[in-house]
Chain A
Amino acid sequence: MKKLKVLILLSLVALLATPALAADTIKIGFNIPMTGDIPEVGEGSKNAAEMYLADINGAGGLEVGGKKYMLEFIYMDNEAKADSAVKNAALKLIEQEEVVAIIGPNSSKQAVPGGGTANENRVPMISPWSTNPNTTLDRPWVFRAAFLDPFQGPVIADFAAKKFGAKTAAVLFDVANDYSVGLAEVFKAAWEAKGLGPVVAYESNGTKDQDFSAQLTTIIAAKPDFIFVPENYNQVALIIPQARDLGYKGPFMGSDSWGTPDLVKLCGEQCNGQYFSTHYAAAGATGATKVFIDRYMEKFGSEPADYAALTWDSIGLMLEGIKNAGMVDSNPRKMRKAIRDGLAAIKSFDGVTGSSKFNEQGDPIKCAVVVKVSEEGTFVFEESVCP
């Protein structure tokens, strides 16, 4: 009797849980930072996703195996924190919402732990913006749309050596951020491998720090030819003016975390004239990239930053994976497996951030661009570097 009750209860639970997926919708979750340190990133990603969603559902849905399915996007805020990316976002999406796939987290700080959760729970995940190798390393369920830091680091080192004629470099990085630490290490190794000169100062700070004067005093005393700052844009906006106040006159070099319109808003004129490496440059775009940028600008009134473009490409990749799966199963576990196999089958992809080929780790091999913050505070294409 008791067993029967349990059985009825279980089947009831199962019934309650399934109808959301019954037949004709495909649920995809987004694990993005709507609040916290980098809210601009979450907003840009959501904008791109909403635009993609309207396109697909406006055309009657996504065609998989001869039948059209509507898409449903669920956005979860990870507060730009590693623990929230796992608990509040990834697990909620997997267990409560029963999504069949996850897009995000964006920043490596959340994507490295978030990728672990997705992999353990066997849910396919694409991180649009994460460049730290550990996000996808030995995780068959995790993919990404961005290039990797072992590629980005040398790009920055080569560019600085050529552009500034630099012999010595200094690094200031955020020690509590996987992305920043990883890139700082890769850059240091790449710079020392060039044999031009040493990294004369290698200083770190915390994520919530507002005063960098002690680190910058050490850096400036070491007289580097340029300072590499792989930090989030909000910290960059404090670091550069403080370095100028302390009498530093040389150039700065940044990484893809600089690439938001907020950098210029928060930093003002002081950031003009600096360079950073990134995923794409909106200025001077052609073809599909230009169409995407124009439509985004018309809809949201600002240029899409790299994370918005990469989110767009991640959705494109995900839908490609779903199409490759060739069927929609109402059982989320089976569907997740099918999508993973579909994603793993993608060999190359043409997106708005350029075309990429995928290696066995699920990492794309694609070009990087170096962008200059112009005197008017816009991001101008400087050069493109391909592997």
Chain B
Amino acid sequence: MDFIIQNVLNALQWGSFYALIALGYTLVYGVLRLINFAHGDIFMVGAYISFFLASFLIGPIVGLSPAMAFIIIVPLTMVLTSLVGVTLERIAYRPLRRKGAHRLYVVITALMCGLVLEYSNLALLGASRLKFPELIEKQIWHLGGVTLTNLKVMVIVAAILVFLFLQWVVTRTRVGMAMRAISYDKFAIPLMGIPVDQIIVVTFVLGSGFAGLAGLLFAMSYPVLEPFMGMLIGWKAFIAAVVGGIGDIKGAFVGGFLLGFIEVGVVSVFPSTYRDLFAFTILLLILWMKPSGLFGIPQSTKI
């Protein structure tokens, strides 16, 4: 029994990261119908930004206590990472959109942007891995045979809060209404006086900001950073978003946790070689039965 509860907790933590990244994919897709393949690498940039902030703030020049630094790093990382996302939108996606390029070209551009981020990081910082400093003092709680750390709880709570927040933004606010409207008809919407470009910028701010938060939490949980850390987890989170029904906030959240649970579940029973085989076979079956994903609605208003 302890074994199962422990693995449920493991899966919740691992699924939280998939969910956090999948939310960013789905947000941008919902508005722009653009698969932002650079998203996993924006997550990586977020982790690196938080690394440099942490090293600077607890370093000899500023000398803050780690806990104090953490409080400052959270918003700062989110702001800086969202700037990276917005920059990508401005220099890569918007010009293409203005010229009326086909969506395929924008997706390819996104893939290239991701590679540019990865390899510029490799060129700038080298291949050596970085060690993320410990920001909050780790506490390990033993509840019967189950072990829990404060970090694990924080990650899971953060994923749930971000989901609730985004769900609220999209369904209950004016900005959210505008987002849904753009996704519904992007030609008629400007005629209604809705500033399309600004709404898109807001979408990127939200998506990238939470990718930055995911990067920070990931770096705290798995404190070894490398330029390609966002690639695989980004792809998998994208698949999770698709299975949940891309464009739907709830779908991304559920899809992320679903993938986390399947992966941890398979590894805890079978040899790890079967993990991706089983995980993606199950996801394939889900898509086979429901091609628009768990919560997706075929070809209508998404987000």
Write the residues of chain A forming the contact surface with B, with a CB cutoff of 8 angstroms: 34-36, 39-40, 175, 203-206, 208-211, 213-215, 217-218, 221, 234, 237-238, 241, 244-247, 262, 265-268
Across the A-B interface, give the 10 residue pairs with the lowest CB-CB distance, nearest first. Answer: A39-B127, A213-B10, A214-B267, A247-B147, A35-B127, A214-B264, A214-B268, A210-B222, A204-B272, A266-B131
Q: Shortest CB–CB separation between residue A44 and chain B, in angstroms?
A: 12
Q: Shortest CB–CB separation between residue A90 and chain B, in angstroms?
A: 20
A205 is contacted by which of B232, B265, B272 (Cβ under 8 Å)? B272
A234 to B126 alpha-carbon distance, docked (Å): 15
A217 near B3 with CB under 8 A, answer yes
Write the residues of chain B forming the contact surface with A, with a CB cutoff of 8 angstroms: 2-3, 6-7, 10-11, 13-14, 122, 126-129, 131, 134, 138, 140, 142, 147, 149, 151-152, 222-224, 226, 229, 232-233, 263-265, 267-268, 271-273, 275-276
- Decide: A203 near B272, CB < 8 A? Known: A211-B14, A237-B224: yes
Q: Shortest CB–CB separation between residue A120 and chain B, in angstroms?
A: 29
> Closest chain B residue to A268 by CB distance?
B131
A356 to B32 alpha-carbon distance, docked (Å): 65
B128 near A215 with CB under 8 A, answer no
A206 to B267 alpha-carbon distance, docked (Å): 11
A377 to B120 alpha-carbon distance, docked (Å): 32
A262 near B6 with CB under 8 A, answer no
A364 to B140 alpha-carbon distance, docked (Å): 47
A214 to B151 alpha-carbon distance, docked (Å): 17
| Across-interface contacts of A267 in B (CB, < 8 A) | 131
Decide if the interface of chain B is mainly helix, strand, loop or mixed: helix
A218 near B268 with CB under 8 A, answer yes
| Across-interface contacts of B152 in A (CB, < 8 A) | 245
B127 near A34 with CB under 8 A, answer yes
Given contacts A214-B10, A234-B224, 15 further A-B contacts (CB under 8 A): A205-B267, A214-B265, A214-B267, A214-B268, A217-B268, A234-B129, A237-B131, A238-B222, A238-B223, A238-B224, A245-B151, A246-B6, A262-B128, A268-B134, A268-B223
B229 is contacted by which of A36, A40, A210, A245 (Cβ under 8 Å)? A210
A214 near B7 with CB under 8 A, answer yes
A262 to B131 alpha-carbon distance, docked (Å): 9
| Across-interface contacts of A211 in B (CB, < 8 A) | 10, 13-14, 222, 264
| Across-interface contacts of B134 in A (CB, < 8 A) | 268
> Closest chain B residue to A38 by CB distance?
B127
A241 to B140 alpha-carbon distance, docked (Å): 12
B273 near A39 with CB under 8 A, answer no
A214 to B269 alpha-carbon distance, docked (Å): 9
